[in-house]
C-alpha cells in the first residue's frame, strides 16, 4: 500500500492484465482508493502464488470482479467494458496488459511480431476505442501503460520497442480526438520494474552484483516498484490531472534524463 492518497469512491475502474505484476499493483491501488475494480485478464491467479486480485480487494472491504479477457480480441474488450454497466458505468480504463519476449532482431519472425502487436498494440487501440464509446456523454480517463522502450533502444527488443512506440502515439492521437468529449488519454511509462513479466525477470535483481550492473543507467540507482507505477497511474486518472491529456509520464528513476 502507498502513502499517497487518492479517492475514487463510486468510480468504476477497468484494468487489463490486473492479475500480476504492475497491473495487479494498479488494480489493488484503485481498490484501496475506494473504486470498484474490474480485472480483465486471461486468468485470475497471479503468476506468483497469491490471492487473486479481485478477491484481495473484496477481502479488504471493496468491490471487484474478474472477467476472462483476451485483449487481442476487440470483441472481448467491448464485453469487458460493458461489465462496468453493472456498477454504474465506466469511469477509468487502464490498458496495462502486455507481453514481452527477448528476441534478437535477426531472429524475430512474423509470429513474434504478430503476437506482440496483437496484445501490446491492438489491445491498447481497441481498449481505448471501446472505453471511449462507453464514456461518451459522461467523460472519463484512460491510462495506457507504455514503457521507456518507446524512446530507448535496447538489444533484443526491437519488436517490443516498436509496440511501445505505437502505444505512445495511440495515446497522443486518441487524446486529440477525444478531448472534446471530456475523455482524457494519458500514458505511464515504467523503466526497470522487476516483475514476472517473463519468467525469471524479477530474479535478475536479487544478486547484488547483478543488480548494481542492471541499475547503472538509472540516476536514482534503484529499480522501480509496481507501486511506483500504480501511484503515477492513479494520479493520471484523478481529478488532479483534470487538465492533462496526451502526455506520457515516465516513471523511470531518471533514466530519460540521460
Please give the Cα distance from 227 to 33 (Å, whole number).
13
Q: Which of 19, 72, 147, 150 is catalytic?
A: 147
Read off the pLDDT band of 258 (50, 70, 90).
Answer: confident
Report the pLDDT value the prediction gives residue 50, as an integer from 0 to 100.
Answer: 86
Q: Which of 164, 201, 202, 238 is catalytic?
A: 164
Please give the Cα distance from 238 to 219 (Å, whole number).
28
Q: Answer whether 0.85 is exceeded by the pTM.
A: yes
Backbone angle region of 160, left / alpha / beta, with phi > 0 → left and psi within -120 to 50 → alpha: alpha
Q: pLDDT digit string (tens) for 21-34?
A: 999 999 999 999 99
Determine the CATH number of domain 12-199+226-250. Answer: 3.40.50.720
> Does residue 164 have an active-site annotation?
yes
Report the pLDDT value the prediction gives residue 195, as an integer from 0 to 100.
Answer: 81
> Does residue 160 have an active-site annotation?
yes
- Among 174, 116, 166, smallest CA distance to 142 is for 174
Q: pLDDT digit string (tens) for 65-82?
A: 999 999 999 999 999 999
Read off the pLDDT band of 3 (50, 70, 90).
Answer: low
Q: Which of 6, 87, 125, 160 is catalytic?
A: 160
Read off the pLDDT band of 158 (50, 70, 90).
Answer: very high
171 in Cβ contact with 132 (< 8 Å): no
The domain ranges of the chain are 12-199+226-250
Could you give phi then psi for residue 102, rounded to 5 degrees?
-85, 110
Report the pLDDT value the prediction gives residue 71, as an integer from 0 to 100.
Answer: 98
167 in Cβ contact with 228 (< 8 Å): no
Q: pLDDT digit string (tens) for 84-132?
A: 999 999 999 999 999 999 999 999 999 999 999 999 999 999 999 999 9
Read off the pLDDT band of 47 (50, 70, 90).
Answer: confident
Q: Kindly report the CA angle at 70 between 102 and 228, in degrees rounded to 5?
A: 60
Amino acid at each position: 500500500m502507498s502513502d499517497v492518497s487518492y479517492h475514487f469512491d463510486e468510480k468504476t475502474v477497468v484494468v487489463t492484465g490486473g492479475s500480476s505484476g504492475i497491473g495487479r499493483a494498479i488494480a489493488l491501488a484503485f481498490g484501496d482508493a475506494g473504486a470498484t475494480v474490474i480485472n480483465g485478464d486471461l486468468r485470475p491467479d497471479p503468476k506468483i502464488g497469491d490471492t487473486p486480485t479481485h478477491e484481495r480487494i473484496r477481502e479488504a472491504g471493496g468491490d471487484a470482479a474478474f472477467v476472462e479477457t483476451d485483449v487481442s480480441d476487440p470483441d472481448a474488450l467491448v464485453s469487458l467494458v460493458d461489465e462496468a454497466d453493472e456498477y454504474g458505468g465506466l469511469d477509468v480504463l487502464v490498458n496495462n496488459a502486455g507481453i514481452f519476449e527477448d528476441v534478437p532482431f535477426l531472429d524475430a519472425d512474423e509470429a513474434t511480431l504478430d503476437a506482440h502487436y496483437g496484445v501490446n498494440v491492438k489491445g491498447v487501440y481497441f481498449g481505448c476505442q471501446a472505453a471511449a464509446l462507453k464514456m461518451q456523454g459522461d467523460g472519463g480517463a484512460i491510462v495506457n501503460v507504455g514503457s521507456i522502450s518507446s524512446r530507448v533502444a535496447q538489444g533484443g527488443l526491437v519488436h517490443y520497442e516498436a509496440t511501445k512506440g505505437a502505444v505512445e502515439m495511440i495515446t497522443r492521437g486518441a487524446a486529440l480526438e477525444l478531448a472534446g468529449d471530456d475523455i482524457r488519454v494519458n500514458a505511464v511509462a515504467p523503466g526497470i520494474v522487476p516483475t514476472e513479466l517473463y519468467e525469471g525477470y524479477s530474479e535478475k535483481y536479487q544478486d547484488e552484483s547483478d543488480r548494481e550492473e542492471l541499475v547503472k543507467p538509472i540516476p536514482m540507482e534503484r529499480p522501480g516498484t509496481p507501486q511506483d507505477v500504480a501511484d503515477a497511474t492513479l494520479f493520471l486518472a484523478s481529478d488532479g490531472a483534470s487538465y492533462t491529456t496526451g502526455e506520457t509520464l515516465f516513471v523511470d528513476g531518471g533514466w530519460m534524463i540521460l
